[in-house]
Amino acid sequence: MGLLSWLGINKPRDAPSLPDIRDNVRDSGNLFVFGMTHSGERVDERTAMQIVTVYACVRLLSNTIAGLPLHLYRYTGAGEDKERATDHPLYKILYRQPNPEMSSFSFWEALMCHLLLWGNAYAQIVRDGKNEILGLYPLLPENMEIDRDPKSGDLFYTYHAYTDEKPGEHDKDIIFQRDEILHIPGLGFNGLVGFSPIAMMKNALGAAMAVERYGSAFFKNGAQPAGVLEHPGVLKNPEKIRENWTRVYGGSRNAHRIAVLEEGMQYKPISLPPEDSQFLSTREFDVEEICRMFQVPPHLVQDLKRSTFNNIEHQGIAFVQYSLMPWIIRIEKGIIKDLLLEEEQDVYFPKFNVDGLMRGDYQSRMNAYAIGVGNGFMSPNDVRRLENMDLIPHDLGGDDYYLNGSYNKLQDAGAAYDLDEPEQTDTEEQDEPDEESTDDRFLRKRRRKKVRNGGM
C-alpha cells in the first residue's frame, strides 16, 4: 500500500491484541465458496467476467450508475425544500473527483463492479485533522475481512494489502476502524456483509462456461463431429495416423476439406450433431439465466427476440425502477452512514439524478410538460432545465407558475352564480328603469332559471 505511505495519513496499525476475536460477521460472505461446479468448470469473479453476458451485464449496470449525476443536498427551511450543498467538502468528492487519481465516473464504476461480482464495495476514507474527508480510494473486496471486537462490539476491517515498502515484505495486514471505511454491502444474511452473487450462481455460470468451451472445441475440430477411422487390417502406428489426420483436417480453416483415404480406411462419425444436442438453444437460455441473475432486461445486452417498438420504452423505465433503484438506494444510504457525521445526517443527503433515464419519447415529454405547466407545479424554466435549454429571464416570467383559472373546489361548484337570489318585490320591480320592458324581464328570469337548472 504505497498509497497510504505517500499520503502520510492512516498509516497501517497493528491488529487489536485480543485473544478471542471471532469471525462473527464474515459468515454471510463465506457460506458459498468457489471451486469446481457440477459442469466441471472452475468459477470465480474473474473467470465469470469471461462470459460475454456476465461482462455485458456488469458493464451496463456499472456504467449506467457511474454516469448518473450524484449531488449532495441540504434541507432548507421547513418541509422538503432543498438546495445543492456546493460549499460542503463532500460535494466535490461525490460529484467530481473522489481522489487525485480518479474521476467520479471511474470511482463509482469500480465500486459497482465490486458490488456486482463480490457483493461488497469498500473504499478507504482519508480525513484531515478537522475530520473532513479529503478523498476516497477503492479497495479490493477479495482482500478485505470484517471482524468484531468482542469487548467493545465495534467492527474493524482487516485489509490484506500488497506492499513493497520493506525489502522482502510482500503481504501485510492493515487494520482500519469503522470510520475509516466506506462499506456498501449487497444482499446478505446478516445485513453487514453481502455474499458474492458469482459464488451463489456458480453452477449456472459453470454450465454457461461448459457450453462455451464445447462450442470452441467444436470449431477447433473443423466444425465436424468427432469420429473414428476404421482400417481393415492391423495398424503398426495408429498415433501417427491420428496426428496426421488432425494436422491436415483439424481446425476451422480445414473445414469441408476433402479427405483422401487409402488401404480401405473409412471415417465414421460417432457424436451427435450440435442441433441434436440443442447447442444453440442452450446458449440462448444461458443469456436469459444470467440476465435473470443480474435483473437486467435481455434487450439491453442485445437480445432483442422479445422486444418490440411498443414495449421497449416501458422496459427501459422498468430497468430503472427495478434494476437500478435498489443499487442506487444502497449507495445513497451507505454514503449517509459512513461519510456524513452524525449531526449532519439530518441536514444533508446525497441523491442520484435519474430523470434523464426516465424520459419518454418527445411527444410524451411535451404532453407531460404541458400538464405540469398548466396545473401550476412546473414553471417554464423547470421544463427548459429538463430539456437542457437556455432559461427564460425572470422578468419575462420564466420562473412563474401558472394555474388554469377554471378549476374550483368541489364545495365551491356554482358559487359564481347567485342561485339563491330572492325574488324581487313589487316595489323593487317598480323601481326598475322604465326602459326595461316586460319582455326583457321575462328573458332575464328565463336565463336565471336556465342557469339554476345546469344550462338545461
Q: What is the pLDDT of residues 70-103, one digit of tens each?
A: 999 998 876 678 899 999 999 999 999 999 999 9
Would you state the pLDDT for residue 64?
A: 94
Q: What is the DSSP string of 63-121?
A: HHHHTS-EEEEEE-SSTT-EEE-TTSHHHHHHHT-SBTTB-HHHHHHHHHHHHHHHSEE
* pLDDT at 343 > cutoff 50: yes
Q: What percent of the chain has pLDDT over 70?
A: 65
Amino acid identity, residue 86?
T
Residue 102's DSSP bridge partners are 99
Can you read off the three cell numbers belonging to residue 35? Answer: 471451486
Query: 82: burial class by Cβ within 10 Å (0-12, 13-18, 19+)?
Result: middle
Would you state the pLDDT for residue 1?
A: 42
Neighbours of 332 (CB within 10 A): 16
**Radius of gyration from C-alpha coordinates of the chain:** 36
Would you state the pLDDT for residue 366?
A: 84
Rounded-to-integer distance, Cα 126 and Cα 146, Å: 19
Lowest-pLDDT choice from 263-277, 285-299, 399-413: 263-277
DSSP designation for 362: H
Give the model confidence (pLDDT) of 241-273 as tens digits: 777 777 776 655 665 566 767 776 777 665 655
Lowest-pLDDT choice from 95-104, 202-211, 381-390, 431-440: 431-440
Rounded-to-integer distance, Cα 85 and Cα 70, Å: 12
Instruction: Give mean pLDDT, residues 331-357.
Output: 91
* pTM for the full predicted model: 0.68
Distances (CA, A) of 41 to 38, 204, 279, 371: 8, 11, 17, 57
Q: Are 182 and 115 in contact (CB under 8 A)?
A: no
